[in-house]
Chains A and B, each alone.
Chain A
Amino acid sequence: QTVVTQEPSFSVSPGGTVTLTCGLSSGSVSTSYYPTWYQQTPGQPPRTLIHSTNLRSSGVPDRFSGSILGNKAALTITGAQADDESDYYCVLFMGSGTWMFGGGTRLTVL
């Protein structure tokens, strides 16, 4: 059974740059999976950051960017701020109306 992999946790200093990744336990992530990234804070629904690999959702600061790095999708935060401390989820479209989320990455800014 294929699973979507994410780092469980990551830490970044204020003003620093961090890259979170989204991979597959079997195979490579490509643009065909339309990787999408969400930010979630406690008690709130997810907020769309980046969709379809590298398209920034409306109102999302340009310090958030998406890409394919090697065989994974990646979310890069440049110039991290305190309020970027959140859970980040990626989701892949697996085809035939099915989707698969990664386990999420808890980002700490300190």
Chain B
Amino acid sequence: EVQLVESGGGLVQPGGSLRLSCTASGFTLSSYEMNWVRQAPGKGLEWVSFITRSGDTMFYADSVKGRFTVSRDNAKNSLSLQMSSLRAEDTAVYYCVTIVYGSGNSYLYYYMDVWGKGTTVTVSS
């Protein structure tokens, strides 16, 4: 079964740090570009970060730029999100998501496909 499992969430004080992990099973993570997406309690989805298959290029939402760092270890089939200088507004469920791309007859496709169940981060004193 194709599955992503996030871990590492928890309660952290404002200004603190936390490292999230995402492990893939049933498929090879290195075949996919990856996103982190979060969802604050009762709110909508927010894209957080992107990383290429090789891990040599990353992009971030303005809301986390300079505080969050995404990385991957393809040998371990895993993805990480290092979060620092955490704020109350970072409180959310964090999902890792695969990105799929390809082409068919006269069309291209590019989208976020497999989602993990998420890990909860709570920033509070």
Q: Write the residues of chain A forming the contact surface with B, with a CB cutoff of 8 angstroms.
A: 34, 36, 38, 40, 45-46, 48, 51-52, 55, 57, 89, 91, 93, 96-104
B47 A91 Cβ-Cβ under 8 A: yes
Q: Write the residues of chain B forming the contact surface with A, with a CB cutoff of 8 angstroms.
A: 33, 35, 37, 44-47, 50, 52, 57-59, 61, 95, 100, 107-113, 115-118
- When distances are taken between beta carbons in the complex, the residues of chain B under 8 Å from A34 are 108-111
- With CB as the reference atom, state the residue of chain B lying closest to A46: B115
The list of the 4 closest CB pairs from A to B, nearest first, reads A51-B111, A97-B59, A52-B109, A45-B115
Interface of A is mostly: strand
B109 A91 Cβ-Cβ under 8 A: no
B19 to chain A, nearest CB (A): 21
For B45, give its contact among A48, A51, A101 (CB under 8 Å).
A101
For B109, give its contact among A38, A55, A104 (CB under 8 Å).
A55
For A48, give its contact among B44, B61, B110, B112 (CB under 8 Å).
B112
Bound CA span A36–B47, Å: 13
- When distances are taken between beta carbons in the complex, the residues of chain A under 8 Å from B117 are 45
A45 B108 Cβ-Cβ under 8 A: no
Bound CA span A86–B32, Å: 28
- With CB as the reference atom, state the residue of chain B lying closest to A57: B113
